Amino acid sequence: MSEESSWIAWAIVAPLLGAVASLLAGRRGAIVAATATIATLVCVAFVVRRAGGATMRHVVGGWGAPLGIDLRADGLAVLLLATFGAVAPLVGLYASGHYASGRRRRGFFSLSLLAWAGFNALVLSGDVFNLYVTLELLTLVAVALTGVEGGGVRRVLEAGLGYLFVSLLGSLLYLLGVALLYGGAGTLDARLLATRLVPGPLAWTALAVMTAGLCLKAGLFPMHAWIPPAYVSASAPVSALLSALLGKAPWVVLLRLWLEAFANLTRPAGSLVVAVLGACAVAWGSALALRQRRLKRVLAYSSLAHVGYLFLLFPPASTRAYAGVVYVAVSHAFASAAMFAAAGVVERSIGRDDLDALQGLAHRRPLTFVALGLAGTSLIGLPPSGGFVAKYFIARAALENGEWWWAIVVLAGGLLAAGYVIPILRSAFMPLSSGAHLRPVARRTELASLALAVAAIALGVAPASPLSLLDVGPAP
């Protein structure tokens, strides 16, 4: 263990300490949170820079696997660390102008730093029990975040409790699988499990219950009904974090399990079932988004559809498909955060977020309109956006594997996305209603939304640099 590897641990410790300190700092909480954000960015940048072409490993407390805890910065971890490190500060900047109450700002900053620490710990963990612990931390933080200036106390409570109870059910299934794994293999390290697990009823039962639990927590079709109320009732900065980053945590864990711990046990039939559910999620989420008349509801169901793309990896499990689905997660993180942030600006400006209220937005809030347009381009998957690169990779991998029907799913998903993004932009171009008045909003909220949207496009203009991070360590 080198001194350089300790930066991996600091990428977790820095935001964790910042979360506690900002909560205790009172009125200076925002300054403390900003300091912790900068410190975390330095740690993440060092890990990304030092990763090079080899996986960095840090042994916590000097005890490695199978007795202790290993933290590993491989390609997936490094890219997701960089993604959260880019999205979270911009969402924080947006939140600083969104919340009028200093108390709510401090609450959001503290919880978002705690979420950052949990997410970093999750992507760096190589132990299936540590993955469970970090996933539960993120669940509790997500539930707490939904209560930060949500839309109506009763609605927030219902959405938050629904989020909590469904997540706990998924966690119980996952924990049952963990117990089965430890009983059968005597270790919980993902890479050691790959060498020790023997195909049989115990291993396949563990795989099935853990996959079911994680699909439930991810909101994969048909286990998705609890997701939209949480996204819609939460405040805009919280919705941005949930959709962009926290909602993808169960998928990250599933990726670790299928491609590492269960790499020698997965079967085509199981992969096909997961991919079919993903395709159904793309179609059903998009169809529901087409029926919505409120901007945040459109975006909530769009997020369900994009969860579906993440599960199209498994049948054409190749390096290109792997890069494609990971890039979907990254590009959607920026695009969805930008869209939810822009929706928050619209709601603050007009007092509501139904599509008819967008009339005149292109002329009265041009920065917000541009953000919606750029982010919408990525959601559809049009060039030169990151969404286009991601979906192109998935479609090409499917065609190379002789499974053209998955390419049709990707194409159809893009057309359906156009069906709900274009009406948003069309409404914004309509003449402003007579007597309509726009309330002032903090300029930094518009700039943060625009920066996120520009980043979603930049991922398509220059994809080589972020994709090169996936070369760190082994690939499927």
Residues 6+ apart with CB under 8 A from 89: 37, 41
CA–CA dist 406, 390 (Å, integer): 14
The tokens 């919280």 sit on which residue?
238
CA–CA dist 166, 210 (Å, integer): 14
Is 105:94 a contact under the CB 8 Å cutoff?
Answer: no
| Single pTM value for the model | 0.92
Please, what is the angle between helix 386-400 and helix 404-429, to 10°? 160
Give strand pairing partners of 344.
none
Exposure string (b/e) for 270-292, b if CB count within 10 Å is 16 or more? bbeebbebbbbbbbbbbebbeeb
Helix segments in 25-100, DSSP class H: 29-51, 75-98
CA–CA dist 271, 312 (Å, integer): 9
Over 249-263, what HEC string results?
A: HHHHHHHHHHHHHCC
* Predicted pLDDT of residue 183: 84
Q: Closest by alpha carbon to 313, among 437, 440, 413, 406?
A: 406
CA–CA dist 239, 337 (Å, integer): 8
The count of other CB atoms within 10 Å of the CB of residue 366 is: 13
What is the chain's pLDDT, residue by residue, as a tens digit (476 residues)? 456 678 888 999 999 999 999 888 888 878 899 999 999 999 999 888 876 666 777 777 666 666 667 888 888 899 999 999 999 999 999 998 888 766 788 888 999 999 999 999 999 988 888 899 999 999 889 888 887 765 556 666 777 777 788 888 888 999 999 999 888 877 888 888 888 888 888 888 888 899 999 999 988 988 888 888 888 888 889 999 999 888 899 999 998 888 888 877 766 677 888 899 999 999 999 999 999 989 999 999 999 999 999 998 766 567 888 899 999 999 999 999 999 999 999 888 887 788 887 887 888 888 999 999 999 999 999 999 999 999 999 999 989 888 889 999 999 999 999 999 999 988 888 876 655 677 888 899 999 999 999 999 999 998 888 888 887 554 33
Measured CA to CA in angstroms, residue 136 lies from 119, 133, 434 at distances of 11, 5, 50
Q: Closest by alpha carbon to 130, among 78, 186, 184, 175?
A: 175
* Predicted pLDDT of residue 412: 95
Domain borders along the chain are 269-476
| Residues present in the chain in total | 476
